[in-house]
Amino acid sequence: MKSLDLRGRFSSHGGRYGLFAGLCLLLALSTANAAEVVDRVVAVVNNDVISLYDLNLALRPYAQKLKSLDYPPEKQRRMLFKIREDILKQLVDQKLAEQQIKRLKISVSDEQVDAAIERVKKASYYTDEDLREALAAQGLTMEAYRRRIRDQILRVRLVNREIKSKIAITPEDIKAYYEKHRREFAGQTLYDLDQVFLKVPEDADEAQRAAAKAQMEIIRQRLVADKAHKDHDKFLPENELSVGAATVQSLGTFKMQDLSPRLKKLLAGRGAGEPTPVLETAQGYQVIWIDRIVKKQGKSLEQAAPGIEEKLYNEVVNRKYRAWLEALRAKSSIKIIQ
């Protein structure tokens, strides 16, 4: 079954500021049937209340995850208390946002909710049946999902009105960032590294380790003779030792400056396919080589400008959103009831 991203894609700028949306969207709440609890009020936000049921419903998936991590009871208790405080604060912020939405008379039509859901389906290649199955797997009905989508759109519109509309990133801001971070936009060389590795058991005797090293020396000579290294059968020995079989592995892609000083020194001046000497490690023996060298071109100010603008914009939006919430909290009547 396909998994479903319930966050939606509702930025009024065509997804450009989607990263920020998570700060103002409704905290994802599980809608699975809750065990009956004696409900009470845990917070009063102006004239609205947050109930213990609401808090427990939001807390449950985090509590279940924490329980599965098998921490000592005292540590689990402290962590759960902190998570509970954080979630209650988010519920208060959510309630404040809801009140502002009502005060500013921000609304969304059924047609706009339908359009948003269609965008989710299109992006995930879902049919109606696929969507309903994915929702059911998460304990959600279509009606509950529509309410969640509606809440998300309303909150994004609130942020657009209260925060985003008051922000402008100037060409001077972009240029200053580019100059300060010029190294980020310079061209760079990346190295795809591969290795042959032969694991040697911890209890291997001296003769076995010597035999393993000799086998790796044979492999290295074959690598030197055939720098393409594409046909592994040609350079891996036909008769494996009792200590284990040599394996070819990709180590990943790296910048040279990110490698250890020892490996950097060993690879310096070597071209693609040229192996290092046999290296002894605590686990066995290895030979490393550069499989591919990728030269990435740098970016001019003009090329880098869109990404810089988005980064700066999101930083300002996040900062102003936090300040806006704090100001809203300061002038609101908020009572936490323990």
Closest CA to 117 of 7, 200, 25: 7
pLDDT bucket at 272, cuts 50 / 70 / 90: confident
Weakest mean pLDDT among 107-121, 221-235, 256-270: 221-235
Closest CA to 159 of 92, 87, 115, 101: 101
Question: Please, where are the H alpha helices in the chain?
Answer: 18-24, 52-68, 73-103, 110-124, 128-137, 142-162, 171-180, 206-225, 232-235, 261-267, 301-330
pLDDT bucket at 271, cuts 50 / 70 / 90: confident
User: Is residue 221 situated within a structural domain?
Assistant: yes
Residue pointed to by tokens 């213990």: 52
Residues 131 and 45 in one domain: yes
pLDDT number for residue 140: 79
Residues 36 and 166 in one domain: yes
CB 128 within 8 A of CB 9: no
The reported pTM is 0.50
Distance CA 9, CA 57 (A): 25
What is the arithmetic mean of pLDDT over 49-77? 87
Residue pointed to by tokens 């102006």: 46
Residues 165 and 313 in one domain: yes
CATH of the domain at 208: 3.10.50.40
The share of the chain scoring above pLDDT 90, in percent, equals: 32
User: Is residue 139 situated within a structural domain?
Assistant: yes
Residues 292 and 320 in one domain: no
pLDDT number for residue 33: 40
User: Is residue 176 situated within a structural domain?
Assistant: no
Residue range 188-225, pLDDT digits in tens: 888 899 998 888 888 888 888 888 888 889 888 888 88
Residues 32 and 128 in one domain: yes
Q: Is 154 exposed, middle or buried (0-12, 13-18, 19+ CB in 10 A)?
A: buried
User: Is residue 31 situated within a structural domain?
Assistant: yes
Residue range 107-161, pLDDT digits in tens: 999 999 999 999 999 888 889 999 999 888 877 789 989 998 998 899 889 888 8
User: Is residue 265 situated within a structural domain?
Assistant: yes
Residues 110 and 51 in one domain: yes
CB 157 within 8 A of CB 102: no
Distance CA 267, CA 279 (A): 12
In one letter, which amino acid is 14? G
Residue 39 phi/psi, 5° resolution? -85, 150
Distance CA 168, CA 150 (A): 28
214: enclosing H helix or E strand: helix 206-225
* Confidence check: pLDDT of 235 > 80: no
Residues 75 and 162 in one domain: yes
Query: Helix, strand or coil for residue 253?
Result: strand
pLDDT bucket at 331, cuts 50 / 70 / 90: very high
Closest CA to 38 of 49, 20, 51: 51
Q: Which pair of structure tokens corresponds to residue 51?
A: 């109930």
Residues 198 and 106 in one domain: no
CATH of the domain at 319: 1.10.4030.10
Domain membership of residue 278 as a residue range: 188-296
